[in-house]
Structure 1
Amino acid sequence: MKPLLFAMFGVLATGLSFSTPSSAQLSDTLSPVGAILAGNKEGTIPAWTGGIKQPPAGYKVGQQHPDPYAADPILSTITTANLDAYRSQLSDGIIKLMEKHPSFKVNVYPSHRSAALPERIYQSSIRNAQSAELAFRGHGVTGAVAGIPFPVPENGQQAIWNHTMRYRGDAVEYTASRTAVQPDGSYDLAKLKRQVFFNYGRAGLEESDLKNTLFFYKHKIIEPPRSAGTSLLLKETIDQVVAPRKGWQYYPDQRKVRRLPGLAYSDIMPDTSGMLTADTADMYNGALDKYDWELKGRQEFIVPYNSYKLHGSDVQYEDIIKPGTMNPDLLRYELHRVWVVEATLRTGIKHPYAKRRFYIDEDSWQILMVDIYNAEGELIHYQEAHPINYYEVPLVLSTAEVIYDLTDGRYFVDGLSNQEDEYDFSVQLKKRDFTSAGLRREGGR
């Protein structure tokens, strides 16, 4: 068990300095997941008081989530004309996005620390702070069940594992669309029905029950007709160096399930028009062994947050998808503290992404932004996650994720569910629902 220490983090509005003890126990200064309870000295970031603990009055489970902050004014709008005044609080990726697409703007709203999790996840996180350890070379995690494994991270690997193992519900079923958007704004939507069974965060689970399994995922393409019925199944392992993820795909024209030979690192994710590598899904996922991970500390950044406007059922997909970027009038940005982690490709390792800089929300451990560089040091891609508090659970999850190609002007957006039934976190799923034989049976229906 780790010794009991009290942790206080130094936070600078500019720069990346921080103070972290070699081991620590959560104290009255930190939330159960390690966020600083206090707001900043300027008052532009409020204190965390538990987030959204209850849905708004009149909300019924299954409805599209009403925006609890719909009345908020825009505090400032950042454009290329006033960009210099905000550079220290913007990621390199969003700066380059604005420079490439001068019509893009960043509407900054009042900051709300809305993130919340079930009480049992908080209690698990507190226990994990005393027992969780990195496995050999950081390839996995031991001593953790449910909850955030490292509320007080000591290095970059621990911070990324916090994102990977954050609570996303026990199970979820939903339908959402995704598309690659061409520079002229043209696109073809693909609608997918998806199911996820989260193994790691389930109530009553012991570490011995995990069996190196993080979650099971499957989707079935509903539209367009030429692809309808194509299905994907994944078994996501925790230590993917010891046991890589397994993947199967069902092809309706062949009526066969085929094992995917590889689906990790820089392998291209199926049905993403070649724009999404396997390890960029969910902002980052999978093994950490190709990179050296440096924890830079916490800093105040303007980030996507409380994206209920983008999530609204009154929004059509053509309202969101515009040439060059998503519609900035539907995007909400706020000032928050984030952990900054920089990943540098190890010598002798091949991957098109030589460096990545991650910006991770301190309240939820959701990666909010990623700057992606090639071997020549050029900033080539930029990712954003636009999160909301799904307050019926509660938990924080992105309602849409986007990756911008900063060289050719394309982008890929996933998670568009405005015109679909809401995410169902109460769905009853079991491990036996996620087998290759079951994939074939479902594909034949």
Structure 2
Amino acid sequence: MKITTMMRTGALALSLLATGVMAAVSPQEADKLGNTLTPLGGEKAGNADGSIPAWTGGLKANAAPIDSAGFLGNPFAAEKPLFTITAATAGQYKDKLTEGQLAMFKRYPDSYRIPVYQTHRTASSPQEIYDLAKKSALNTKPENDGNDLSNFESRFYAFPIPKSGVEVVWNHMTRYRGKNLHRDLAQAVPQTNGDYNIVEVVDDVAFPQYMKDAEADKTSNVLFYYKQEVTAPSRLAGNVLLVHETIDQVKEPRMAWQYNAGQRRVRRAPQVAYDGPGTAADGMRTSDNADMYNGSPDRYQWKLVGKKEVYIPYNNYKLYSPSLKYADIIKPGHINQDLVRYELHRVWVVEATLKPGERHVYAKRTMYFDEDTWTAVEIDHYDGRGQLWRVGEGFAINDYKEGIANYAGFSLYDLIAGRYIVQGLSNESKNAVAYNTTPKMSDFTPAALRNAGVR
């Protein structure tokens, strides 16, 4: 893979190291945030030929009309693709495509395509989040081979000026997701002929710093609380998952519980981690495939390869539209690529290699993170034989009203089985995601699961 290093500081040489214990950046380096760098650490300038523009603040809160249900309008609805990459032309663009994308062209030569649009750097967040990111840069340090964070009082964007691969991954996992949220989502695992059943879930996510009754001494190692209830189909309805997502999962492993509606019992669920099976996924994803990647980084060695310009899913407001039905999106082999928008952006490239003696079904991952949001947008997953197995794509959007990097959905394509899972769809939901909810700590206890799952 041809890599073009974009950062212009001597410190980037250190980024070729894998994980390691390093100090937080100096005040002089942190001052680049908001100057030569965006407030979250992307390179503010455009690229040499202008195909990637400079970042000028991202979308404003009124970028497009928002409907009565809260769904975002498309600021770029009038735009048409500049060109479309097909299996026949993929070779011309291979220096700006991932190995996974190239493999998708080979696997589905007649249907997989990449429509490329004009690049817009739409990322924007509230000023308070920018201030917290700078605080992270000055104070947060990786500990225990990158598995823990010390002095992470800001709680967001642990390393906006990263020096190692694991620091980039931490930025994805600690990115701003809003001040508590409630959402109705759908997922499907189509058969090879395209037949599928929709699984509907209700998610609640809460962050200790935004919960009025959270006690700091009891939540210091908690990144967030997560509760998921399956509401359809009827055979799964009432099953509930609860997760306390810890920061240092070596010292304090992720705490998870499941309520099984059929058994009417709450049980600890240690399998909800690493390569444990995903909820209602028919074996098509692991637990740490959710949100493209999540959980403890301790089983992998992380190498920061550098930066690269890649055509990635971006500004996917069309795919997010409530005017679409799930049948418009879900097709045999992969989702409907006519609904997806790709743009040329700079990404951080990180390689994750399974540590000797550790176990995981993915022996290697090559991960691509958008420089402006730290959102994972492409991940290639390799099996123990070194064969490319699954290709993950995250269809990024920017919630310009709330200033949040989000997904219109994300897919994981199994190149061997010819099947895939698509998650995070909300097109047929009654309402868009609701932010600024007011959950209580008691909502995220094992005792609360039985009441949540009654049917």
Q: Over the residues paired in the alignment, what is the CA RMSD in angstroms?
A: 2.0
Q: Secondary structure at the match of 1:419?
A: coil
Contact 2:347 2:370 (C-alpha < 8 Å) held by counterparts: yes
CA distance in 2, matches of 1:206, 1:108: 48
Q: Does 1:326 align with 2:335?
A: yes
CA distance in 1, matches of 2:143, 2:308: 28
Q: Give the Å deviation of 1:203.
A: 10
Residue of structure 2 aligned with 1:48, choices 55, 59, 71: 55
CA distance in 1, matches of 2:269, 2:46: 47
Label 1:107 to 1:357 Cα distance change in 2 as closer, same or farther (>3 A): same
Q: State the match for 1:110 in structure 2.
A: 118
Q: State the match for 2:148 in structure 1.
A: 140
Cα deviations across residues 369-425 of structure 1 (Å, max 9, x unaligned)? 001111221101000111111122111111201100011100001011101110001
CA distance in 2, matches of 1:37, 1:413: 33
Label 1:203 to 1:147 Cα distance change in 2 as closer, same or farther (>3 A): farther
CA distance in 1, matches of 2:284, 2:62: 36
Contact 1:311 1:418 (C-alpha < 8 Å) held by counterparts: yes
Q: State the match for 1:126 in structure 2.
A: 134
Q: State the match for 1:366 in structure 2.
A: 375
Contact 2:57 2:123 (C-alpha < 8 Å) held by counterparts: yes
Q: State the match for 1:66 in structure 2.
A: 73
Q: Secondary structure at the match of 1:137?
A: coil
Q: Does 1:427 align with 2:432?
A: no
Moved more, 206-215 or 298-307: 206-215
Label 1:134 to 1:205 Cα distance change in 2 as closer, same or farther (>3 A): farther
Cα deviations across residues 64-107 of structure 1 (Å, max 9, x unaligned)? 11000111121110001111110000000011011100121100
Q: How does 1:170-249 map to 2 (within 5 A)?
A: 170-199=179-208, 210-249=219-258
Label 1:201 to 1:121 Cα distance change in 2 as closer, same or farther (>3 A): farther
Q: Give the Å deviation of 1:327.
A: 0.3
Label 1:221 to 1:31 Cα distance change in 2 as closer, same or farther (>3 A): same
Q: State the match for 1:161 in structure 2.
A: 170
CA distance in 1, matches of 2:92, 2:212: 47
Q: Secondary structure at the match of 1:181?
A: coil
Label 1:376 to 1:390 Cα distance change in 2 as closer, same or farther (>3 A): same
Q: Secondary structure at the match of 1:222?
A: strand
Contact 1:146 1:201 (C-alpha < 8 Å) held by counterparts: no
Unaligned runs of 5+ in 1: 1-12
Q: State the match for 2:22 in structure 1.
A: none
Q: Give the Å deviation of 1:349.
A: 1.7
Cα deviations across residues 195-253 of structure 1 (Å, max 9, x unaligned)? 11123678999986742001111111111111111111111111111111111111222
CA distance in 2, matches of 1:29, 1:261: 44
Contact 1:20 1:154 (C-alpha < 8 Å) held by counterparts: no
| TM-score when normalising by structure 1 | 0.93
Cα deviations across residues 90-135 of structure 1 (Å, max 9, x unaligned)? 0000110111001211000000110111110100111111111002
Q: Secondary structure at the match of 1:177?
A: strand
Label 1:165 to 1:45 Cα distance change in 2 as closer, same or farther (>3 A): same
Q: State the match for 1:97 in structure 2.
A: 104
Q: State the match for 1:6 in structure 2.
A: none
Q: State the match for 1:7 in structure 2.
A: none
Q: Does 1:37 align with 2:54?
A: no
Query: Identity, % of aligned pairs?
Result: 40
Q: How many residues align?
A: 433
Amino acid in structure 1 at the alignment position of 2:253: P
CA distance in 1, matches of 2:92, 2:436: 45
CA distance in 1, matches of 2:44, 2:213: 29
Moved more, 257-266 or 336-345: 257-266
Cα deviations across residues 30-88 of structure 1 (Å, max 9, x unaligned)? 01111111111110001111111312354357421100011112111000111111000
Contact 2:199 2:233 (C-alpha < 8 Å) held by counterparts: yes
Contact 2:188 2:199 (C-alpha < 8 Å) held by counterparts: yes
